[in-house]
Amino acid sequence: MREKMRYEIPSPEIQKRDQRRGYSEAAATYERFKQYNELLERLSDEDRAMIADLLQSEKEAGMGAVLAFLADGQYRLVQHETTLSFEPFDTPYHYDFAARVAGDPWPDEKAE
């Protein structure tokens, strides 16, 4: 588990090469990544799992908030120039998202 929760930081040589090419993270970002890795290394596996769970919950809450905003504004989603159905299961996007996160099947899978 410890290896899964860490930032990969390229060697200083690779960082310099990437900076010359113009597609590198700022040095301050890599320093922050290093600090995150050091913090994570000090935590127990249980603490890491709790933090991972907390961050996952916050990510899902943020996604739910964005989807609620889209539904409330009746915004339409477009993928590859195709407009997707608005609330295809007759429920708001954020409801569908929360139900899938909770493990509920998609409405069309219930009959199977």
Residue 94, amino acid: H
Q: In the predicted model, is pLDDT for residue 2 greater than 50?
A: no
Q: Do residues 38 and 90 share a domain?
A: no
Q: Do residues 51 and 100 share a domain?
A: yes
Structure tokens at 55: 């961050």
Q: Do residues 35 and 81 share a domain?
A: no
66 within a domain of the structure (yes/no)? yes
Structural domain count of the chain: 2
Q: Which domain holds residue 10?
A: 1-42
- 99 CB-contact burial (10 Å; exposed 0-12 / middle 13-18 / buried 19+): middle
Q: Do residues 6 and 32 share a domain?
A: yes
- Mean pLDDT value of segment 66-79: 90
Q: Do residues 6 and 29 share a domain?
A: yes
- Give residue-wise pLDDT tens across range 93-110: 888 899 999 999 887 755
> What secondary structure letter does DSSP report for 79?
E
110 within a domain of the structure (yes/no)? no
Does pTM surpass 0.75?
A: no
Q: Do residues 16 and 62 share a domain?
A: no
76 within a domain of the structure (yes/no)? yes
